[in-house]
């Protein structure tokens, strides 16, 4: 397979940490996406690495027993460490505050702490087998304050930091899920819901594991993803992923079913609003897009993989050691290894190799894997980094070798413009009220910047400047901008100025000046002058630039007649008689010039004898 | 309408003549509504110069003006009399606000000759003065008053006749001394603004500077920017800027030339060690920012008086050749802290900008090669943006506008201008003046151009060609008909 075939890849710069081994325990915190490497219970050092901070935090802590769980609060303010099943220890990482540890025991008697989650920089939730306890940490007092608690039997829990929702597995079977939502010191209980288990549950013991559940935000909505190994319907084989929509208000609802058409061990990720399902047995992955059209049966929508299954792109592990010494080629990384652990939304950790990757979608290869261009557009338009790819698809459809048919092009255009229209509508509703002074200052700053880099300023920017100034009657400012050529000369701009004449008479002069400077707008100048009945000025202008042999006599005579100034008409008439004489040796107008009406008028006003006589030689 | 009185013949000059330029005889402001009944005429007079004139004579002169205006109104109801010509003087009338009349009486220039028996003969040159020039001067008197005091009507509303009289006295007492009637000419008719030629990029930098200053000094309502006494940007409307420009260039800037010529070691500078990194200083307001007792008083100006009627403090701040006028609402009293902040923000940036403009200007000059003096003397004026350009005038001193051509030629320019004003059409007038001088006036749309040529034995065609050449080089980027 060529590189162009893989549509999933591991990020280029993974977070690297010390491999897990008997003396080095590795923990991952989903909220901060940090990896903790705890050596000898912390006595010989703890190293914390996140995806964004390339500078790891390292510190030491006293070895007070085996660490079960370790997490920083948001913004790395407070460290929480669980070493026993009853207590959690805290230490402050706030500058200038005591680093002495303080401890909190869970309130419920005989309860065992399953784990804890930070919901803010100072708020923490303990999940015990008998319920949850919501605390506020007071670092300066080195103590915790219970905000709220709830008693409920818990099998296991799951936390989605992006939505601040904790999901508890309750009941004997474990398939009744109770979500809680946390926000700024409050804990809200959301409606619980039941996951339909495959086949008839004969057993009465817990057979529903957190391994088959994931929570993720897809297209802005929180979903609970359930990996159902055996379809409930007997006629279809293979596993499926059931998506339950968990709204902030209202009941949880089953919405989508992703058909995997295979069985075995799976893992889930969500990348760029796509559900990625990894299959360990075949070492391949498939992706699902719930926005693409599926089969709707009246309650749920069934989806099939968007693309054929493909492996994640092979990955080379850079060889450790000082670069100049080792010149060995990089070692290929074992993909879909059984030591991989997958976290939401897009994290893959190999504890044995000491890597944390983000999974990424490569759009360019998909172009060739998805022959249906309409579906391809639907898919691409929902992706983050789609613009360049969409452009390449468009240009490909026009290229000789891959030319698309007109109906396909039409479909693609409709899809593009459907999105564009949404954008335009959104933009329209986003009309900010800004003081015009600020608007103009911003535009000037932008035009200055464009000029500085010698980029041509588009007409619409000039139009916006003019529109804003005109709306606020700031004509004198406009005049000054034009005087210093801040608004570059162009025919459209000159026409815009002409249209402003009735509000601001000097716009006429500004427009004429601009047309003159353009030097390609002589016809327009003549039209402007004639429309203002400046017939003589128009004639003088066209003569000045040497174009008077090619102008239409009729046009000038019409304009002259309209002024109802007989002397002016006489002058113009005579001018053309002389031109006729010079060009053709005869002062008479030819029939093609259509000046009969004007000749008649001339005779009527000045008499037949006033006509110029042909010069005879 | 000009009412001409009886005239006397002009005599030929002799060797021992003495010339006296035109001079201000009197100047008064009155409102006929204030003393309509007999015996109350004195109440009409709001201001009278010279004040020493006896009361009854004041009343008589005001009465005469009233009568003339009333009388001539019969013949021209829509355009009341503008001036009265007499042998010895000329009177100019102006009604800037309803029923408020301003009158300026100017003595005609005099030539004093020695007669054969040694007695001096005084000859008034009654055709020398141009009505439009002095009418414009009178209008300017009002505009200048209004800029610093607001309208007559507003003073009446604020404090009645008493306040109005006080304000008029205070203002005109000093202002009339600065009228230099002997050197008024065509440029006074135009009341134009000289714009500093600049490339787009530097202009945009100035825009950017102004916008940033207005943002950081949020109280600033309007800004104007000048370089070398030439305007680059006005946030004020045209009419307000026109009179402010006149004030800045003929009064404020010339007053500050001397300390500038004294160089940077002037006493003002050495006392301000904190400001060594820039050359900014206040032309209005505090002289020394380090003096805790420094007064932050700024001239108060009034703009948009027909409309929003705004009172503003005028802060003029200058660094090298660049001057910025910041105008802030008069209700906000600038403190010393504000001035210091302004100085620290504006000073360094304006200094850099000023040297940028200077550098760019020199580059542009080199490229366009306009370093050499133009071979023609000309005056250009555009009514639309009030842009004015003169190679005839060398306005360097506050007291006097120096021209480099003979006053007779200036008078021809004025006459041509009066001709232009009579018709709407584009026109061209070529005058052969004395001693090989040709004067050409051209009017195209709203633009006027006056050229003075001095070519030995030139004929009309050659002169016309020369002017065409001038237009092609100097005005090729505007629509100016040949």
ipTM: 0.86
B155 token code pair: 């003073």
Chain B CB contacts of A484 below 8 Å: 198, 200, 203, 232
Taking the CA of residue A565 and the nearest CA in chain B, the distance in Å comes to 13
Q: What tokens were used for A561?
A: 């007649």
Q: Hunting for tokens 């009030």 — which residue is that?
A: B386
- Compute the nearest-CA separation of B312 from chain A (Å): 18
CA distance B418 to B428: 13
- Considering only CB atoms, A509 lies closest to which of B207, B208, B384, namely B384
Taking the mean position of all CA atoms in its chain, how far away is CA B433? Answer: 28
Chain-chain contact of A444 with B214 (C-beta, under 8 angstroms): no
How confident is the model over B378-411, as pLDDT tens digits?
899 999 899 998 888 875 454 555 667 788 888 8
Q: Do B240 and B303 meet the contact criterion of CB atoms below 8 Å apart?
A: yes
Q: How much is the pLDDT for B233?
A: 95
Q: How far apart are CA B297 and CA A539, in angstroms?
A: 59
Q: CA–CA separation, A254 vs A242, rounded Å?
A: 7
Find the CB nearest B479 among A445, A476, A512.
A512
CA distance B114 to B91: 29
Query: Is pLDDT above 60 for B374?
Result: no
Nearest CB among B211, B234, B479 relative to A513 is that of B479
CA of A512, closest CA in chain B: separation in Å?
6
The whole-number pLDDT of residue B13 equals 45
Task: Name every chain A residue with its beta carbon within 8 A of the beta carbon of B211.
Answer: 440-441, 444-445
Mutate to test the interface with A, among B192, B197, B204 (most CBs of A within 10 A): B204
Please give the interface size between A and B, counted as residue pairs whose CB atoms are below 8 Å apart: 74
Signed CA dihedral, B241, B242, B245, B246: sign only: negative
CB-CB neighbors (< 8 A) of A485 in chain B: 200
**In whole angstroms, what separates CA A62 from the centre of its chain?**
46
User: Which residues in chain A are contacts of B382 at CB distance < 8 A?
Assistant: 509
DSSP state of A424: H
Best of B207, B210, B448 to disrupt the A interface by mutation (most A CBs within 10 Å)?
Answer: B207
How many angstroms separate the CA atoms of B337 and B347, rounded?
15
* CA–CA separation, B307 and B151 (whole Å): 12
Min Cα separation A134/chain B (Å): 47
∠ CA B420-B422-B425, nearest 5°, is 65
Residues of B in contact with A568 (CB under 8 A): none
- CA B152, distance to chain mean position in Å, is 21
B238, B384, B482 member nearest A544 (Cβ): B482
CB-based contact B112:B123 (threshold 8 Å): yes
d(CA A93, CA A101): 11
Out of A445, A508, A510, name the one closest to residue B208 (CB).
Answer: A445
A447, A480, A483 ranked by CB distance to B204: nearest: A447
Contacts of A500 (CB under 8 A, 6+ apart): A466, A470, A475, A507
Q: Are A136 and A185 in contact, with CB atoms under 8 Å apart?
A: yes
Q: And the tokens for B51?
A: 């004040």
Q: Which two tokens stand for residue B299?
A: 């001239």
**Which range, of A136-140, B438-442, B470-474, averages the lowest pLDDT?**
B470-474
Strand partners, A279: A266, A284
Angle between the N-to-C axes of helices A387-398 and A406-428, in degrees from 0 to 180, rounded to the nearest 10: 150
Looking at the complex, report in whole angstroms how far the Cα of residue B200 sits from the nearest Cα belonging to chain A.
6
State both tokens at A64: 């007070």
Closest partner CB to B207 (pick from A448, A515, A525): A448
**CB of A497 less than 8 A from some CB of B:** no
Asked if residue B108 lies in contact with residue B128, where contact means CB atoms within 8 angstroms, the answer is yes
Neighbouring CB atoms inside 10 A of B409's CB total 21
Chain B residues in contact with A452 by the CB 8 A cut-off are 201
Mean of the pLDDT values across residues B16-45? 88
pLDDT along chain A (617 residues), means of 10: 77 84 86 87 81 77 84 88 89 77 86 90 91 90 88 91 91 86 88 77 67 91 88 66 89 89 89 92 92 89 91 79 55 84 90 87 89 90 89 86 83 88 76 81 92 90 91 91 91 91 90 90 90 89 87 91 91 92 88 89 89 73
Q: How far is CA B207 from CA A470, B202, B217, B233, B389, in A?
A: 19, 9, 15, 8, 23
Residue with tokens 């706030």: A94
| Model confidence band, residue B87 (pLDDT cutoffs 50, 70, 90) | very high
Residue A556, min C-alpha distance to chain B (Å): 18
Let me know if B392 is exposed, middle or buried by CB neighbors in 10 A (0-12, 13-18, 19+).
Answer: buried
The sign of the torsion formed by the CA atoms of A288, A289, A295, A300 equals: positive
Answer whether B200 sits within 8 Å of A541, measured CB to CB.
no
CA distances from A545 to A557, B122, B292 (A): 20, 56, 67
Closest chain A CA to residue B198 = A484
Q: So what's the pLDDT on residue B296?
A: 87
Determine the pLDDT at residue B283. 92
For residue A536, the surrounding DSSP H or E stretch is helix A535-544
In the predicted model, what is the mean pLDDT of chain B? 85
Q: How far is B400 from chain A (nearest CA, A)?
A: 30
Contacts of B386-390 spanning 24+ positions with Cβ under 8 A: B386/B190, B386/B191, B386/B192, B386/B193, B386/B238, B386/B242, B387/A483, B387/B192, B387/B193, B387/B194, B387/B195, B388/B187, B388/B190, B388/B192, B388/B193, B388/B194, B389/B194, B390/B187
Q: Which two tokens stand for residue B451?
A: 């050229």
Q: Report the alpha-carbon distance of residue A64 to residue A86 in Å, rounded.
A: 14
Q: What percent of chain B has pLDDT over 90?
A: 51
Length of chain A: 617
* pLDDT in the model for residue A335: 86
Q: Please give the Cα distance from A581 to A96 (Å, whole number).
A: 102
Mean pLDDT of B140-168: 94
Nearest CA distance, B443 vs chain A (angstrom): 12
Share of chain B above pLDDT 70, in %: 89
Torsion sign, CA atoms A296, A299, A304, A306: positive
Establish whether the linkage from the previous residue to A17 is cis, with ω within 30° of 0: no
State the DSSP H helix or E strand holding residue A360, giving kind and residue range, or none if neither.
strand A355-361
A486 in contact with B, Cβ within 8 Å: yes
Inter-chain residue contact A484 with B426, CB threshold 8 Å: no
Whether residue A480 lies within 8 A of chain B, CB to CB, comes out as: yes
Q: What is the DSSP string of A178-240?
A: EEEEEETTEEEEPPPEEPPPSS-----S----GGGEEEEEETTEEEEEEEESS-SSTT--S-E
Question: Would you state the structure tokens that stand for residue B336, as one six-digit string?
Answer: 């010393």
**Residue B73 contacts residue B65 (beta carbons within 8 Å):** no
Hey, of A438, A448, A518, A545, which one would you mutate to test binding to chain B, going by the most B CBs within 10 A of its CB?
A448
Instruction: Residue window 198-227, chain A: list those with CB within 8 Å of chain B.
Output: none
In angstroms, how far is CA A391 from the centroid of its own chain? 16
The residue of B192, B193, B211 whose CB has the most chain A CBs within 10 angstroms, and thus the best one to mutate to test that interface, is: B211
Cross-chain residue pair A509–B445, CB shorter than 8 Å: yes
3-state helix, strand, coil in chain A (%, to 5): 30, 25, 40
Query: What pLDDT sits at residue A223?
Result: 94
Give mean pLDDT, residues B348-374.
80
State whether residue A197 sits within 8 Å of chain B by CB. Answer: no
The span from the CA of A493 to the CA of A512, in Å, is 11
Pick the residue from chain B with its C-alpha nearest to A534. B425
Distance in angstroms (rounded) separating the CA atoms of residues B433 and B449: 17
| Three-state secondary-structure class, residue A484 | coil
- Do A506 and B385 count as a contact with CB atoms less than 8 A apart? yes
Q: Which stretches within B308-394 are classed as H helix?
A: 336-368
Which chain B residue lies closest to A488 (C-alpha atoms)? Answer: B200
Residue A530 near residue A552 (C-beta atoms within 8 A): no
User: Is B448 within 8 Å of B475 (Cβ atoms)?
Assistant: no
Please give the Cα distance from A150 to A159 (Å, whole number). 17
Q: Measured between beta carbons, which residues in chain A are less than 8 angstroms from residue B327?
A: none
């Amino acid at each position: 397979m060529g590189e162009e075939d893989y549509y999933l890849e591991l990020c280029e710069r993974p977070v690297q940490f010390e491999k897990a081994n008997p003396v080095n325990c590795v923990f991952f915190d989903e909220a901060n996406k940090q990896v903790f490497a705890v050596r000898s219970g912390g006595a010989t050092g703890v190293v914390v690495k996140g995806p964004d901070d390339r500078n790891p935090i390292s510190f030491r802590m006293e070895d007070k027993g085996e660490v079960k769980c370790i997490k920083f609060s948001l913004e790395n303010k407070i460290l929480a460490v669980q070493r026993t099943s009853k207590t959690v220890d805290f230490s402050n990482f706030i500058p200038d505050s005591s680093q002495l540890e303080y401890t909190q025991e869970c309130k419920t008697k005989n309860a065992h702490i399953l784990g804890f989650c930070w919901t803010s920089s100072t708020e923490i939730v303990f999940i015990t087998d008998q319920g949850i306890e919501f605390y506020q940490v007071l670092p300066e007092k080195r103590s915790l304050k219970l905000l709220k608690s709830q008693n409920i039997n818990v099998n296991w829990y799951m936390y989605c930091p992006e939505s601040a929702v904790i999901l508890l597995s309750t009941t004997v079977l474990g398939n009744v899920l109770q979500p809680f939502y946390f926000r700024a010191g409050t804990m809200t209980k959301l409606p619980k819901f039941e996951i339909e288990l495959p086949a008839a549950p004969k057993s009465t013991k817990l057979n529903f594991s957190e391994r088959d559940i994931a929570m993720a935000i897809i297209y802005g909505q929180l979903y609970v993803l359930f990996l159902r190994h055996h379809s409930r319907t007997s006629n279809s084989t293979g596993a499926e992923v059931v998506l339950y929509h968990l709204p902030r208000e209202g009941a949880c609802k089953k919405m989508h079913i992703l058909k995997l058409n295979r069985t075995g061990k799976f893992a889930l990720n969500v990348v760029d609003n796509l559900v990625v399902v990894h299959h360990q047995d075949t070492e391949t992955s498939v992706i699902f897009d719930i926005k693409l059209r599926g089969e709707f049966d009246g309650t749920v929508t069934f989806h099939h993989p968007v693309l054929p299954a493909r492996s994640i792109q092979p990955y080379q592990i850079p060889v450790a050691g000082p670069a100049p010494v080792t010149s060995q080629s990089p070692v290929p990384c074992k993909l879909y290894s059984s030591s991989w652990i997958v976290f939401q939304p897009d994290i893959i950790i190999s504890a044995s190799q000491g890597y944390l990757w983000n999974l990424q979608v490569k759009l360019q290869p998909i172009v060739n894997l998805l022959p249906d261009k309409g579906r391809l557009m639907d898919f691409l338009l929902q992706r983050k980094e789609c613009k360049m790819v969409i452009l390449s698809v468009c240009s490909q459809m026009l290229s000789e070798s891959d030319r698309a048919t007109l109906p396909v092009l039409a479909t693609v255009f409709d899809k593009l413009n459907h999105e564009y229209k949404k954008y335009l509508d959104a933009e329209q509703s986003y009309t900010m009220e800004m003081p015009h002074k600020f608007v103009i200052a911003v535009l000037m700053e932008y035009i200055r910047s464009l000029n500085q880099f010698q980029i041509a300023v588009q007409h619409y920017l000039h139009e916006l400047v003019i529109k804003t100034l005109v709306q606020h009657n700031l004509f004198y400012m406009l005049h000054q901008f034009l005087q210093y050529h801040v608004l570059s000369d162009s025919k459209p701009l000159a026409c815009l100025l002409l249209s402003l004449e009735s509000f601001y008479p000097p716009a006429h002069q500004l427009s004429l000046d601009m047309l003159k400077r353009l030097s390609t707008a002589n016809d327009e100048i003549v039209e402007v002058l004639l429309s203002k009945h400046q017939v003589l000025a128009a004639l003088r202008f066209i003569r000045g630039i040497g174009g008077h042999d090619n102008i239409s006599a009729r046009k000038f005579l019409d304009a002259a007649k309209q002024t109802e100034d007989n002397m002016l008409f006489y002058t113009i008439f005579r001018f053309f008689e002389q031109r006729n004489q010079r060009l053709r040796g005869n002062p008479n107008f030819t029939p093609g010039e259509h000046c009969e009406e004007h000749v008649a008028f001339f005779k009527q006003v000045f008499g037949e004898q006033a006509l110029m006589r042909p010069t005879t030689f | 309408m000009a009412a001409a009185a009886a005239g006397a013949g002009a005599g030929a000059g002799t060797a021992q003549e003495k010339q006296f330029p035109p001079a201000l005889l009197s100047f008064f402001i009155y409102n006929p509504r204030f003393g309509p009944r007999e015996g109350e005429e004195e109440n009409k007079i709001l201001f009278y110069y010279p004040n020493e004139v006896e009361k009854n004579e004041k009343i008589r002169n005001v009465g005469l003006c009233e009568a003339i205006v009333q009388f001539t109104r019969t013949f021209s109801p829509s355009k009341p009399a503008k001036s009265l010509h007499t042998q010895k003087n000329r009177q100019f009338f102006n009604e800037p606000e309803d029923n408020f009349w301003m009158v300026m009486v100017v003595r005609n220039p005099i030539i004093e000759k020695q007669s054969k028996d040694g007695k001096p003969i005084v000859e008034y040159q009654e055709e020398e003065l141009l009505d439009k020039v002095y009418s414009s001067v009178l209008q300017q008197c009002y505009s200048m008053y209004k800029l610093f005091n607001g309208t007559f009507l507003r003073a009446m509303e604020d404090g009645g006749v008493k306040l109005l009289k006080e304000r008029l006295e205070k203002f005109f007492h000093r202002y009339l001394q600065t009228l230099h009637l002997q050197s008024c000419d065509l440029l006074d008719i135009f009341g134009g603004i000289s714009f500093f030629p600049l490339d787009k990029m530097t202009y945009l930098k100035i825009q950017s500077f102004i916008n940033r200053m207005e943002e950081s000094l949020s109280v600033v309502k309007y800004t104007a920017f000048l370089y070398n006494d030439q305007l680059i940007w006005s946030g004020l409307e045209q009419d307000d800027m026109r009179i402010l420009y006149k004030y800045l260039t003929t009064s404020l800037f010339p007053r500050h030339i001397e300390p500038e010529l004294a160089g940077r070691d002037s006493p003002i500078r050495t006392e301000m060690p904190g400001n060594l990194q820039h050359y900014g200083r206040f032309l209005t307001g505090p002289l020394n920012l380090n003096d805790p007792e420094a007064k932050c008083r700024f001239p108060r100006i009034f703009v948009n008086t027909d409309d929003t009627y705004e009172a503003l403090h005028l802060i003029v701040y200058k660094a090298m050749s660049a001057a910025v006028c910041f105008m802030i609402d008069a209700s906000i009293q600038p403190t010393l802290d504000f001035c210091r902040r302004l100085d620290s923000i504006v000073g360094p940036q304006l200094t850099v900008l000023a040297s940028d403009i200077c550098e760019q200007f020199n580059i542009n000059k080199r490229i366009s090669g306009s370093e050499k003096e133009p071979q023609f003397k000309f005056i250009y004026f555009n009514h639309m943006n009030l842009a004015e350009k003169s190679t005839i005038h060398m306005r360097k001193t506050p007291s006097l506008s120096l021209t480099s051509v003979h006053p007779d030629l200036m008078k021809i320019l004025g006459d041509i201008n009066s001709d232009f004003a009579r018709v709407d059409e584009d026109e061209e007038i070529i005058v052969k003046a004395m001693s090989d001088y040709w004067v050409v006036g051209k009017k195209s749309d709203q633009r006027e151009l006056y050229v003075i040529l001095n070519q030995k034995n030139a004929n009309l065609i050659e002169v016309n060609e020369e002017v065409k050449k001038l237009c092609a080089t100097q005005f090729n980027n505007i629509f100016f008909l040949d």
